[in-house]
Amino acid sequence: MTNPSIQNNPRPDRWLTIRSDGVVLVRSGKVELGQGVLTALAQIVAEELDVDPSRISMVPAGTDQSPDESYTAGSMSVPHSGGALRAVCARVRALFVAEAAARLGVPAESLRVSDGAIGAPDGPGTSYWELADAVALDREIPDAVAKAPADYRIVGQDLPRLDLPDKVAGRRRFLHDLRPHGMLFGRVVRPPSRSAVLMSVDEDAARRMPGVVAVVRDGSFLGVVAEREEDALRAQAALRSACAWEEEDSLPSERDLAAFLTSAPAEETVLADTRGDGGAVAHPVRARFTRPYLAHASIAPSCGLALWDGDRLSVWSHTQGIYKLHASICRSQRLAAEQVVVQHVEGAGCYGHNAADDAAYDAVLLARAVPDRPVQVVWTREDELTWGPLGPAMVVDVEVDVDPAGQVQRWQHDVWSNGHASRPGPPGAPLLAATHVASAETALPAGDPPLQNGGGSGRNAVPLYDLPGQLVRTHRLTTMPLRTSAMRALGAHLNVYAIESVVDELAVLAGIDPVEYRLRMLTDERARAVLQAAAERAGWGDGTPGLGIGFARYKNRGAYCAVVAEVEAETHVRVRRLTIAVDVGLVVSPDGVVNQIEGGALQALSWTTKEQVRFDARTVTSRTWEDYPILTFSEVPPVDVVLLDRPDDASLGAGEASVGPTAAAIGNALYAATGLRVRALPLTPENVVAAMDD
């Protein structure tokens, strides 16, 4: 498969600078979100160049210096950026060795590289650092053979994370901590509801408040800029109380959300159709699964920083797509590409499209009113939970016909959902503030990536099992009551939950152990291996009550993952233990993979048992941690991860692989503990009690 990152950025100088002082500067278009990706990429570079990892300096991504690698998303950073860097470094190493051979008058194949030193065992040598100014990287270089996995010394080892020392020591690293000279503080007054229009505002009181530098109004966009943060907050409150809004009901009934999703105008797409004549049907299984809208709920709210210097604009953001944000800002502000630079600075972590891009554009609009002074905007917790893009609510209907021998004859899977992609950048959706200004951009319905790119609503909707007679369809809503976009694993969360719940039910009907039942329907040996590894590690079959299993291959072409959950359910669902087996192909950083698998599993645990966006006829009402509870530290179970390393296979992303299987394992474990199939997420006491009446 062609690597899109290197295909779009073929020149090595976009990726590397080898300096004469012994430092290798590495520029990736992927960004650090707390997933440890820059550490893994540094390992790949050090390995392929044969230099000590301490020489590698990972440069934060910026549109003025980094390759364009689109978004950091979809668990593709190591496959795409890592693959590109491996190829680039192999070419660069070969180029330096060839230059050294020419200077030393020896065959290139006689030379070896050790920590950047190039030479033969018994002769004179040179180094990358001595040749740094003589070897040109600003051109395309022919392919070179990369190292064989058997020769790896750095890849596959645990190295200290590059991003952790500052975080552990509390040193300023996050965007929220930046304090450039002359920085001002901005705050935005959000509309009170989704369709609200600002009719009038009395700005006088806010303008007269101490420290206020500017009040900015453009249509229904309203904000304030002040010398100090507390000044901005007081002025924001004064403006909010001085506004007159026109509002109307625009949202469907939360109580009847499933009915709305399955009846609203939608675009149907067939993902799989292998239907035949079928056979005798002994038992039909019909099941409907639902999940609510979900919030990203980052611990730290989104932040943005912007500075106008004449007609040039600098933006600092914890966006997942610096080039896409750059394109969106250029479009909305009618600026040429060379007039805008977007620089990535870490935020507090988020997997999916949260409000980072929106906060950056808020800062752009406010900074325009105060040229030559940087403006920082930090969203409030209420803004983050209310106005950030949400993970779509979903409905999945599964219909299965089983023959008298217990074999599946027909499998139908239908998904109803808003789209899972409304990220900024052409042809992406507008940023939030761009829909509120006087010359507002239209907020289009969220789209879905095509299935060959992993899909959105239909992600993991096609079972990996050997099932005949499949019909799998998505129904993407073309109306969008609440703003939705990408959230970790996209549609795989509910699709895998639904598939694995039904497979478990079929195993019970057939009187076959759930693990054995799955193994009988899987011919993929890597899939079978993770199932067997998870079951063995968890003590499956030893009589432990409340065990359930879930399995999927992420996107049906990514990492393989099987999860065993141990659940107890008295007054509420509590997960006592998670055992996970994962196959991500070549493991670059074992600790990094384990961290990502654990993180995905714990986020899935929180979604599956607790999280739910609440709303009324006009807007989101779950605005605080009390209204939108997430998993607490005391509720985190032990997580045991088994890595099935396959060094001769390509690396597969880890960040999202455990989400669907974890959710499914919890649901199936709840059945094992209580005998209840709960198909409405989250697994709150209310939904568990409601399942008793089904």
Number of Cβ within 10 Å of residue 310's Cβ equals: 8
**Same domain? 415 vs 550:** yes
Over residues 309-317, mean pLDDT: 97
Residue 472 lies in a domain: yes
Cα–Cα distance, 463 to 471 (Å, whole number): 11
**Same domain? 147 vs 221:** no
Indicate the average pLDDT of the chain.
95
Which residue in the block uniquely carries the two structure tokens 């023959």? Answer: 403
Distances (CA, A) of 520 to 30, 377, 467, 508, 527: 40, 55, 11, 14, 12
Cα–Cα distance, 642 to 95 (Å, whole number): 40
Residue 622 lies in a domain: yes
Among 76-85, 174-183, 188-197, the least confident range: 76-85
Confidence class of residue 124 from pLDDT cuts 50, 70 and 90? confident
Confidence class of residue 438 from pLDDT cuts 50, 70 and 90? very high
Cα–Cα distance, 325 to 321 (Å, whole number): 6
Cα–Cα distance, 426 to 418 (Å, whole number): 20
**Same domain? 110 vs 194:** no
Model pLDDT, residue 636: 98
pLDDT, tens digit (0-9, with 9 covering 90-100), for 652-685 = 989 899 999 999 999 999 999 999 999 999 999 9
Q: Which two tokens stand for residue 386?
A: 């209310």
**Same domain? 210 vs 243:** yes
Among 52-61, 156-165, 579-588, 597-606, the least confident range: 156-165
| Per-residue exposure over 584-608, b if at least 16 CB sit within 10 Å of its own CB, e if not | bbbbbbebbbbbbbbbbbbbbbbbb
Pairing of strands 221-226, 184-189: antiparallel
In 3D, which of 365, 368, 375 has the Cα closest to residue 440?
A: 365
Number of Cβ within 10 Å of residue 440's Cβ equals: 15
pLDDT, tens digit (0-9, with 9 covering 90-100), for 267-299 = 999 999 998 776 667 788 999 999 999 999 998
Confidence class of residue 426 from pLDDT cuts 50, 70 and 90? confident
Residue where a domain terminates, one of 345, 368, 387:
387
Q: Is the pLDDT of residue 254 over 90?
A: yes
Residue 237 lies in a domain: yes
**Same domain? 397 vs 340:** no
Using a pLDDT cut of 70, give the percent of the chain over it.
99
**Same domain? 473 vs 517:** yes
Over residues 576-603, mean pLDDT: 96
Model pLDDT, residue 279: 65
Model pLDDT, residue 1: 55
Q: What CATH number should be reported for the domain holding residue 86?
A: 3.30.365.10
Model pLDDT, residue 473: 98
Q: Which amino acid is at 637?
A: P
**Same domain? 462 vs 531:** yes
Residue 446 lies in a domain: no
Q: Which domain holds residue 515?
A: 390-420+455-692
Distances (CA, A) of 526 to 2, 558, 582, 644: 23, 11, 10, 9
Number of Cβ within 10 Å of residue 44's Cβ equals: 28
Residue where a domain terminates, one of 364, 387, 410:
387
Number of Cβ within 10 Å of residue 336's Cβ equals: 8
**Same domain? 502 vs 546:** yes
**Same domain? 70 vs 94:** yes
Residue 253 lies in a domain: no
Model pLDDT, residue 429: 87
17 DSSP assignment: E
pLDDT, tens digit (0-9, with 9 covering 90-100), for 147-156 = 999 999 999 9
pLDDT, tens digit (0-9, with 9 covering 90-100), for 394-405 = 999 999 999 888
Residue 204 lies in a domain: yes
Among 110-114, 138-142, 222-226, 683-687, the least confident range: 138-142
**Same domain? 398 vs 546:** yes
Model pLDDT, residue 408: 92
pLDDT, tens digit (0-9, with 9 covering 90-100), for 408-417 = 999 999 999 9
Q: Please, which residues bridge with residue 550 across strands? A: 563
**Same domain? 400 vs 542:** yes
Over residues 316-322, mean pLDDT: 96
Residue 437 lies in a domain: no
Q: Which amino acid is at 176?
A: H
Number of separate domains in the chain? 3
Q: Which two tokens stand for residue 576?
A: 């006592």
Backbone angles phi, psi at 300, to 5 degrees: -100, 130
In 3D, which of 7, 27, 8 has the Cα closest to residue 17?
A: 27
Model pLDDT, residue 282: 75
**Same domain? 355 vs 402:** no
Residue 639 lies in a domain: yes
Distances (CA, A) of 258 to 234, 291, 293, 379: 41, 9, 11, 31
Q: Is the pLDDT of residue 107 over 90?
A: yes
Residue where a domain terminates, one of 334, 364, 387:
387
